[in-house]
Structure 1
Amino acid sequence: MTTATLLWGVLFSSIGLGFSLYGKKQQRIVPLLCGLVLMIYPYFVPNVYLLVAIGAALVATPYFVRS
């Protein structure tokens, strides 16, 4: 793991924590699921560019998919 991978992982996991708390409190499934995935996926993606691309897509998903 590189420093960039760790820092991006911490950033996306923090955003995921916020999404999951929001989704649970508002009882919305899309932010809750995106938040959970954002907290877990950095452990399995070793490439920094792929990590950022997947993270950006997951962060944008709740804004485009309303539930």
Structure 2
Amino acid sequence: MNASLLLWGVLFGSLGLGYFVYGKKQGAVMPLLCGLGLMVFPYFISSIWLLVGVGVVLAALPYFFRR
């Protein structure tokens, strides 16, 4: 594990926490699930490029799929 993985994981985890709290308070399913995914997925990915790619996709999903 190197510093880049750790910093990207912290960044996406904190963004996920924000999405999770917002989705829970608003009753919105998409931000809630994306937030949960953003908090959990850095534990399972060991490639920096894959980590950044999946994180950007999960962070952008609530913007494109609003309900």
The alpha-carbon deviation at position 66 of structure 1 amounts to 1.3
- AA partner of residue 41 (structure 1): F
Root mean square deviation of aligned Cα? 0.4
Identify unmatched segments of 5+ residues in structure 1: none
- AA partner of residue 47 (structure 1): S
Please give the TM-score of this superposition, normalised by the length of structure 1. 0.98
Match of 1:60 in 2: 60
The alpha-carbon deviation at position 19 of structure 1 amounts to 0.1
Alpha-carbon distance in structure 1 between the residues aligned to 2:63 and 2:37: 16
Identity rate, percent: 57
Ranges of 4+ aligned residues in structure 1 off by more than 4 Å: none
Please give the TM-score of this superposition, normalised by the length of structure 2. 0.98
Match of 1:29 in 2: 29
Q: What is the count of residue pairs matched by the alignment?
A: 67
Q: Alpha-carbon deviations, 1:3-33, whole Å to 9, x = none?
A: 0000000000000000000000000000000
Alpha-carbon distance in structure 1 between the residues aligned to 2:12 and 2:56: 9
Alpha-carbon distance in structure 2 between the residues aligned to 1:10 and 1:46: 14
- AA partner of residue 50 (structure 2): L
